[in-house]
Structure 1
Amino acid sequence: MNIQKPTNEVQRLERLTDYQILDTSADKHFDDLAFLASYICQTPAAMISLIDSDRQWTKSSIGYPPLVLRRDVSFCAHTILEPELLVVEDAFLDSRFADNPLVLEKPHVRFYAGVPVLSYDGLALGSLCVLDRQPRQLSVEQLKALKALAHQVEDQMELRRDILQLEKAAREQKIAQELIHRDRERFKEILETSRDGILVEEEECVIFMNTAYAKLFGCRGPAELIGLHISELAAPEDLDRLLDYGRKRSRGEHAPNLYEFKIKRRDNGVLVELEASVSDFFQGERHYIITFVRDITERKKNSRERERLITELKDALANIKTLSGLLPICSSCKKIRDDTGYWNQLEIYIEKHSEADFTHGICPDCARKLYPEDFENS
């Protein structure tokens, strides 16, 4: 069966991944909402499902065991295409589902009603649905209740997503606090065993840097860089942007936590491309910016090389010349007319439009005509 997909499928799948909910264990909060949907609609089954790239994955199921279905047979894959809800009162009478194996075989679905479950920015990630093995209809009040429960599913997903983000932020904050508060030896041990470069700045001044970061600059150790203004660490083309990020953070305004920038090695002047992850730490009125960096020079170089090769291949394919079609040729001198209307010698035209090279000789017919005596004596 063909799978009809939303026009925003790429963004939808990216957002689904952001929620980190696929293939997670059962959750009572979602089970309660599925139960309420089944109870209110008086159906034997209800599900909360999410639509991945090629499957329907069930987060909660009442009346059926949790299912993982191919997307091409999924009712819910149709629900995410609808603006509000999808109701199939009798699947036997609906051409979209009459020959569906879920209808003809177990679990023998005859009735289906589903409401899209949306992300915070309106992308349909899955559905809350109720099912029955018998045809049926839902009242207007039941449909309204089903929509309301779908909103509760969305709120539960947002709450779960917020908790995950808070846990991640707490882990990063804990690392930041340890960097500031641990005793010097333990502090040094943590930082020096990190493969990533770590820098701590306060008021645009470097107050700490680990060895891994100093090596990126081609320095023998952090002492050469501690105390410098942050502007001395970035390549000129990135300087204004990085200063702007830091000043926004100091004012409590939004600034990216992840970004890329370049530095120039002090030993040989070579540019190094870095990926940065930034955290803030406040101690009273003091504001520290802690930056974790990783060298992505080779990765970026490989990416650019791939792009160059792709461009060269496209150009090469576009410039391949093939002789085909009708070629106007003079019946007397045998010159060929090119696309611009000029008449060219045959060998010139062929060399221009192919990869062939020419050598010169004389055929027997021409030899007999031009040198009859030599030809007869040979």
Structure 2
Amino acid sequence: MHKTSFTFPEIIDSLKQAVAIVDTKGCIVSVNRVWLQNSIEAGIPESFEWLGVSFMQIYAALSEADGQLPIDLDSVLNGTQPYFRDEIQSSAHRPVKWYLLEASTIFHDDRTTVKGMTVCFTDITKSKMIEHDLMEALTKIRTLRGLLPICAVCKRIRDEHDIWNSVESFLQKHTHAEFTHDICPDCIRRLYPKYSSVLDGSSYS
């Protein structure tokens, strides 16, 4: 029977995630094709040499650009925390993209001595957009279910921006409702009394 063997670079190149292998000093020793493609999309020259670059500095820069405090990855490199994940917003892309960063410790065969770590970036932009849309929808639902400040005289409703809206305008902003304009029987009797007899003699009541 023919036995097929695969090299490690072939395996990581087959993944859809951007993958980098980092040594115990935090420097990149290998990256896959998706990593290179993503870096080109972010504006990094294709000729850029990733080998030897400090991943720790890259992560610190990404976290700073995202307005977050960089989390110390030394615990992954020394094996005390074999796995770590974080969501990163990349402003280098237009439009902005979101990535799930996962870092895992690589051990030698003795399972105690650390060899380095694997860093993996997964594009989660679509799921973050769905999450954003769901949060907006939930906010609208909460607005409609909560207490609405309504004027006792003109019946306008104050929205979350302290702007007074007509009932129609408010509902159009917060729901998918559309309005048609009609006059109810009571208003017809009050405004057009000469038609009252017609209404009283019909089933329209």
Equivalent residue number for residue 143 of structure 2: 315
Cα distance in 1 between the residues matched to 2:50 and 2:139:
41
| 1:210 pairs with one of 32, 43, 46 | 32
Equivalent residue number for residue 70 of structure 2: 240
Equivalent residue number for residue 170 of structure 1: none
Q: Percent identity?
A: 13
CA contact (8 A) 2:20 2:118 kept: yes
Structure 2 runs not aligned, ≥5 long: 158-165, 169-180, 182-189, 194-205
Amino acid at match of 2:106: D
Equivalent residue number for residue 53 of structure 2: 228
Residue deviations 1:152-208 (CA, integer Å, cap 9, x gap): xxxxxxxxxxxxxxxxxxxxxxxxxxxxxx99xx33322221112211111111111
Cα distance in 2 between the residues matched to 1:364 and 1:251:
85
| 1:251 pairs with one of 62, 78, 88 | 78
Residue deviations 1:260-290 (CA, integer Å, cap 9, x gap): 2315364658343224152323379663111
Equivalent residue number for residue 156 of structure 2: 352
How many pairs does the alignment contain? 150
CA contact (8 A) 2:63 2:70 kept: no
| 1:200 pairs with one of 6, 12, 21 | 21
- Normalised by the size of structure 2, how large is the TM-score? 0.55
User: Is the counterpart of residue 278 in structure 1 residue 116 in structure 2?
Assistant: no
The answer to which structure, 1 or 2, has the higher relative contact order (CA under 8 A, 6+ apart) is 2
Equivalent residue number for residue 185 of structure 2: none
CA contact (8 A) 2:78 2:114 kept: no
Cα distance in 2 between the residues matched to 1:283 and 1:364:
92
Q: Give the root-mean-square deviation of aligned CA atoms.
A: 3.9
Summarize the Cα distance change of 1:301–1:221 in structure 2 as closer, same or farther, 3 Å threshold: same
| Residue 229 (structure 1) shift | 1.3
Cα distance in 1 between the residues matched to 2:92 and 2:49:
10
- Normalised by the size of structure 1, how large is the TM-score? 0.33
User: Is the counterpart of residue 299 in structure 1 residue 127 in structure 2?
Assistant: yes
Structure 1 runs not aligned, ≥5 long: 1-181, 324-337, 339-348, 366-378
Summarize the Cα distance change of 1:286–1:322 in structure 2 as closer, same or farther, 3 Å threshold: closer
Secondary structure of 1:261's match? strand
Q: Which has the larger radius of gyration?
A: 1
Pairing of 1:24-43 with structure 2 (within 5 A)? none
Summarize the Cα distance change of 1:273–1:313 in structure 2 as closer, same or farther, 3 Å threshold: same
Residue deviations 1:81-123 (CA, integer Å, cap 9, x gap): xxxxxxxxxxxxxxxxxxxxxxxxxxxxxxxxxxxxxxxxxxx
